[in-house]
Amino acid sequence: MKTSKKSIVVFLLIFALIITYLVPSVFALDGNGYQYMGGQGNSSGAQQQGSGTTNQTGGYGGKQGAGNNQNGSGQHGGNDTNSSEGHQYRHRYQRRFTLIDGAGNYTRIRSQCRNNATQEAFEIYFTIDNAPTLQLSYIPSLNASMGQRHFSLIVEQLIEYNDINANGKYDHTDTIVSSLVLSNITCTNITYTNSTTSDGKAFTIIETHTPDELFSIVIYLVSEKTMFQNTTITQKEIKIDFKITNYPFMNQTSKLALITQVQTPFAITPEQNTYDEQQGIASQESGLNISSAYRSGFFSWANEVIVDNTTHPVNVTVLSQTEQTFSGNNPETYTQSQVIFSYPRGDIIIHDPKIGVIELLGGVIPAVLQYEYLSIIYLLACIASAIVFYGVVYYRKKR
Amino acid sequence: MEDVLDLETRRKIFDIISKNPGLHLSKIAELLQMRISHVEYHVNYLEKYELITIEKSAGYKRFYVKGTIGTQDKRYLSVLRQKTLLHIVLFLLKKQTVQHKEILENVAVSPSTLSYHLNKLVKHEIVEVQRYGEHKGYQLKNREEIITWLIQYKPFDLYEEFTDVWSDITI
Amino acid sequence: MDAIPLMNISIVGITTVFSAGLFIISLNSYRKAQKKKILFVSLVLLLFFIKNLLLSILLFTAQIENTITILALELFDLLILVFLFIAVLTK
């Protein structure tokens, strides 16, 4: 009796220890239960509400600490990059913070994630100098001067076309009725707004549009996994809204298409099942996976578009080609994919793409090895448990 | 008795003997992770104070709690704790009279070893020999007694234990 | 790499092996005892093993969020409990 009571006590102790270890890990890694140190984020002198709100129309030069200030993460006032403020998350596994700086014609969003011993930082650079362009690069650290360009997304033009072959999408056989070439238009100065969701999570809105507000680009970014507007956004991506308002159709039966282009030195793979879908935080998405040997980024979009408050499917055409350029004596290949979104006709059209990076195993092992790694862990667990099981049975038989 | 068992080690030895009658010295030492000389000292002490009795059989000294066990039980225990002997007895339980070669087919030992074990069983009056002319057959001497004993001191069987667990769960 | 997928995979590996081991024991017990009760218990453990096997596959293919797969897993649970109940009722 004594021995069995002891065994029960030992078992309960071990169980309690395991639970005590597991529970914080579960909370921490889930992105919930983040604790913020360093107050509510004014310590570096950066503005609480973000200078975005005070500079809605005018531009402003120099650096801005407009990012995610409310939760005290990633402030950046002037040249102050106090690293102790940067570590705003108490959780010991993941620390991430975002810096945004920009002016009226560009925005630089830098995001750094630390996962135990490894660190990953990337930058999304948005410019409206020419056609609106979003460029994703990997940077060694938040303060790096240069990064490695991963891919660019260029929003080229809006076209009104006659769908001659009636296949619901724009082909080169269809005739163009009118077009809006975005490189020929100067968009308004980029504005920055900080806001919070109903459950207190901070997000930043970066916006620009054509002078007549016909075409707008709205970018949303978050500092942690956040749900709003019926979608979930992680800190490894930005959500973009393409909004087309009251396009002056010249034809009664014509349709609208948005032509974008993805350029990268790496491989582009279209995918029906995007990374976010696999993570269970999105559905009904498709996209392009842009991967080098060690890193993967993506450009994805919702399979549906909202036209005059009604949801419709989007027809997407992806045309890829590889080109070679010569840089010095070395030929370099780069791939371009033209992604054409064909929208139904309407007054207000809102479509939802995203660009971002895909989590990698420590940033060192290529993503393709993840399954092998998991398999090894699985096998080890099976072997260990088989040994324990057999051992216990054998021991019991012997006694 | 309380004084004798005040010492924890001695108490452990006494417990293990009462739970597993017929154990010999090295087995007790192995189970309790103690040195044989230590165990020997304590069992001698326990025997001195008449808490346990010692039976010598098959080259081993075997220990039993005093008064809990009959001579026959002791006999069965000391012999039938040995796996091969038990195996032979279990086989004999299924049959009436069997010959040496039939036992050999069902018990994995060499013929000479089997003869040795059978002689031991005969000597301990567990098995008796029946002669039919030239042939010699073996059968259990006290079937009912052995069955009773086996039920009481049955060795651990994983599958039987499993069945017992579920048999008890019923409305 | 997140620790949760690692923990998931390890625990599922362990439960798969344990359920397989228990199933083998129950099967052998049934062969010895020839009791209906034990047969149902074997069935329960077999279902448990299959369910864990399915869970392992799903974790690797990252399909676990799919509502249909969750339904399948729930169905296994239901069958397990039903057969367990039958085992309890059987004499």
Question: Between these two residues, B76 and B25, which has the higher pLDDT value?
Answer: B25
**Reported confidence tier of residue A134, pLDDT bands at 50, 70, 90:** very high
Which DSSP string corresponds to A14-59? HHHHHHHHHHHHHHHHHT-S--B-STTS-TTS--SS-HHHHTSSS-
State in words which class domain B76-152 has: mainly alpha
| Residue A293 confidence (pLDDT) | 66
**Reported confidence tier of residue A217, pLDDT bands at 50, 70, 90:** very high
The structure tokens 């349709």 sit at A255
Q: Please name the member of C3, C4, C9 whose beta carbon is closest to the beta carbon of A381.
A: C9
- Lowest model confidence (mean pLDDT) among A11-20, A221-230, A253-262, B108-117: A11-20
Closest CA–CA distance from residue A34 to any residue of chain B (Å):
47
pLDDT digits (tens, 9 = 90+) for A373-388: 778 888 999 999 899 8
**Beta-carbon separation of C62 and A278 below 8 A:** yes
Q: Please state, rounded to an integer, the average pLDDT across all residues of chain C.
A: 84
In terms of residue numbers, what domain contains A20? Answer: 1-30
**Beta-carbon separation of C9 and A25 below 8 A:** no
**Beta-carbon separation of C18 and A377 below 8 A:** no
| Residue A115 confidence (pLDDT) | 54
Two structure tokens written together for A107: 């925005």
| Residue C4 confidence (pLDDT) | 66
Q: Does B158 touch chain C (CB under 8 A)?
A: yes
Kind and range of the H or E run holding C86: helix C67-89
**Closest residue of chain C to B163, computed from CA coordinates:** C29
Residues on chain C touching B170 (C-beta within 8 angstroms) = 37, 88-89, 91
Q: How many CB atoms lie within 10 A of CB A127?
A: 17
pLDDT digits (tens, 9 = 90+) for C33-44: 888 889 999 999
CA distance A67 to A81: 13
Check whether B65 has a pLDDT greater than 90: no
Q: C touches which chains (3+ CB pairs under 8 A)?
A: A, B
Q: Does C12 touch chain A (CB under 8 A)?
A: yes
Check whether A138 has a pLDDT greater than 80: yes
Closest CA–CA distance from residue A16 to any residue of chain C (Å):
17
Interface with chain A: mutation pick from C4, C14, C25, C66, highest number of A CBs within 10 Å: C14
**Residue B22, amino acid:** G
In terms of residue numbers, what domain contains C57? Answer: 3-89
- Percent of chain A scored above 90 by pLDDT? 19
Residues on chain A touching B12 (C-beta within 8 angstroms) = none
* Alpha helices, H only, chain B: 8-19, 25-32, 36-48, 71-80, 83-94, 100-106, 111-123, 143-152, 158-168
Judgement on whether residues A217 and A235 belong to the same structural domain of the protein = yes
| Residue A114 confidence (pLDDT) | 60
The number of distinct structural domains making up chain C is 1
Q: How many CB atoms lie within 10 A of CB B116?
A: 13
**Domain B4-68: which topology?**
Arc Repressor Mutant, subunit A (1.10.10)
Interface with chain B: mutation pick from A392, A395, A397, A398, highest number of B CBs within 10 Å: A397
Check whether B153 has a pLDDT greater than 80: no
| Residue A41 confidence (pLDDT) | 32
- Lowest model confidence (mean pLDDT) among A77-81, A102-106, C65-69: A77-81
For residue A125, being part of any structural domain is answered with yes
**Residue B21, amino acid:** P
- Closest to A169 measured CA to CA, from A179, A178, A159: A159
Judgement on whether residues A351 and A375 belong to the same structural domain of the protein = no
Interface with chain C: mutation pick from A94, A360, A374, A390, highest number of C CBs within 10 Å: A374
Closest CA–CA distance from residue C44 to any residue of chain B (Å):
12
Check whether B109 has a pLDDT greater than 70: yes
Residues on chain A touching B158 (C-beta within 8 angstroms) = 393, 396-397
The structure tokens 């074990």 sit at B117
| Residue A132 confidence (pLDDT) | 92
Check whether B84 has a pLDDT greater than 90: no
Q: Return the domain boundaries, chain B.
A: 4-68, 76-152
**Beta-carbon separation of C29 and B167 below 8 A:** no
Contacts across the A-B interface (CB distance below 8 Å): 7
Question: Between these two residues, B87 and A35, which has the higher pLDDT value?
Answer: B87
Judgement on whether residues A304 and A198 belong to the same structural domain of the protein = yes
| Residue A202 confidence (pLDDT) | 84
**Closest residue of chain B to A397, computed from CA coordinates:** B156
- What letter would DSSP give residue A70? G
**Beta-carbon separation of B160 and C88 below 8 A:** no
Reduced to 3 states (helix: H, G, I; strand: E, B; else coil), residue A354 is: strand
Judgement on whether residues A26 and A42 belong to the same structural domain of the protein = no
Closest CA–CA distance from residue C14 to any residue of chain A (Å):
5
Question: Between these two residues, C66 and C59, which has the higher pLDDT value?
Answer: C59
Judgement on whether residues A11 and A132 belong to the same structural domain of the protein = no
pLDDT digits (tens, 9 = 90+) for A268-316: 888 888 878 877 888 888 998 888 766 788 899 999 999 999 999 999 9
| Residue A76 confidence (pLDDT) | 34
| Residue A246 confidence (pLDDT) | 92
| Residue B156 confidence (pLDDT) | 61
Alpha-carbon radius of gyration of chain C: 15
The number of distinct structural domains making up chain A is 3
**Beta-carbon separation of C13 and A389 below 8 A:** no
CATH assignment at residue A335: 2.70.98
User: Among residues 20-49 of chain B, which lie with CB inside 8 Å of chain A?
Assistant: 31
For residue A398, being part of any structural domain is answered with no
In chain C, helix, strand, coil percent, each to 5?
90, 0, 10
Closest CA–CA distance from residue B8 to any residue of chain A (Å):
13
Closest CA–CA distance from residue A397 to any residue of chain B (Å):
6
Closest CA–CA distance from residue B131 to any residue of chain A (Å):
38
Residues on chain C touching B171 (C-beta within 8 angstroms) = 88-89
| Residue A399 confidence (pLDDT) | 57
Please compute the mean of the pLDDT values over residues A132-140 and round it to a whole number. 87
**Reported confidence tier of residue B133, pLDDT bands at 50, 70, 90:** confident
Residues on chain A touching C61 (C-beta within 8 angstroms) = none
Q: Please state, rounded to an integer, the average pLDDT across all residues of chain A.
A: 73
Contacts across the A-C interface (CB distance below 8 Å): 66
Please compute the mean of the pLDDT values over residues B131-140 and round it to a whole number. 86
Check whether B36 has a pLDDT greater than 50: yes
CA distance C22 to B161: 13
Q: A touches which chains (3+ CB pairs under 8 A)?
A: B, C
Q: Are A36 and A72 in contact (CB under 8 A)?
A: yes
- Closest to A284 measured CA to CA, from A262, A306, A269: A306
pLDDT digits (tens, 9 = 90+) for A189-209: 888 888 888 888 888 899 999
Please compute the mean of the pLDDT values over residues A243-253 and round it to a whole number. 91
Judgement on whether residues A323 and A375 belong to the same structural domain of the protein = no
| Residue A329 confidence (pLDDT) | 66
**Beta-carbon separation of B158 and A399 below 8 A:** no
Q: Please name the member of A115, A371, A385 whose beta carbon is closest to the beta carbon of C60.
A: A371
Check whether A81 has a pLDDT greater than 70: no
**Beta-carbon separation of B156 and A397 below 8 A:** yes
For residue A399, being part of any structural domain is answered with no
Q: What ipTM was reported for this prediction?
A: 0.75
For residue A44, being part of any structural domain is answered with yes
For residue A79, being part of any structural domain is answered with yes
Maximum C-alpha span of chain A: 91
Q: Please state, rounded to an integer, the average pLDDT across all residues of chain B.
A: 81
Residues on chain C touching B167 (C-beta within 8 angstroms) = 35, 37
Domains B4-68 and B76-152 share a fold: yes
CA distance B161 to B131: 39
Q: Does B110 touch chain C (CB under 8 A)?
A: no
For residue A397, being part of any structural domain is answered with no
Closest CA–CA distance from residue A360 to any residue of chain C (Å):
7
**Beta-carbon separation of A384 and C12 below 8 A:** no
Closest CA–CA distance from residue A113 to any residue of chain C (Å):
12
**Closest residue of chain C to B161, computed from CA coordinates:** C29
